[in-house]
Amino acid sequence: MNVAYFPGCTLKTNAKDLDDYARKSAEALDITLEELENWQCCGGVFTTSRDEVATKLSSVRALLDAQSKNQILVSVCSACHNVIKQTNHAMQNDEEFASKVNNYLSETPYDGRTKVLHYLELLRDVVGYDKVKEKVVKPLKGKKIAAYYGCLLLRPNNVMGMDDPENPTIIEDLIRALGGEPVVYPYRNECCGGYIILENPESAKSKCEKVISSAKNHEADLIVTACPLCKYNLDKNNNGLPIVYITELLAEALGVKEDNNE
């Protein structure tokens, strides 16, 4: 099965592992991530102003590209997914906004038909965790793994619709399918302070320390995330707990991690 894939800027630079392991793991699960040919930066954050059109055009072009191929549009970066999903929702539900956006486009107008999924949703809802479990060759047995959702993956819930924003299970269920032991802790869906790291580094540091300490206090061996900004911020303020991308654990369990390093 082929799906349209939006990698995003960070996955081409500082988060190459998130991208590489996602691609190799998908292939092991009979899914091909078909990178969009002319994608551009998603904008990094979804601007809620209705008259802010320019920052959303690249997301709409990605949606239009996927629509032209009749494919699902998949991203793995939490920030990119948030921007694209919210833009798609606005195009589907705000006629005035959609009209303004389509007036900027020289291509065929986008009519909102593209289905947007995060990589985790692709695994859960398209591949199925049962199939993922069948493909595991190196179970993560004995590893106590704390999922870190952050704030962009689940919110706003009425748009993202991935999971319960207060008590999510999508990553924990994947960890179980990979043979690991999920660790549920209080700060797993709290903000890491990523967007205030320059303006207020002390506040960001405090937020990260609470997340990491909470996971450690619940006996986690490591923390997994799908967000490059969260990983950067947690690493920067770490106190000894490894922070890895969820796709790296997936690649390890599927036996394709070594191939990534050749």
- pLDDT tens column, 139-176: 999 999 999 999 999 999 999 999 999 999 999 999 99
Considering the entire predicted model, what is its pTM? 0.95
Please name the amino acid found at residue 208: C
In angstroms, the CA 53 to CA 70 distance is: 25
**Mean pLDDT (the chain, rounded):** 94
Paired residues of 2 in beta bridges? 32
Strand duo 2-5 + 116-118: pairing: unpaired
Mind listing the domains of the chain with CATH numbers?
A: 2-119 (1.20.1050.140), 134-260 (3.40.50.11810)
pLDDT at residue 262 is higher than 70 = no
Give me the pLDDT at residue 202, please. Answer: 94
Give me the pLDDT at residue 260, please. Answer: 42
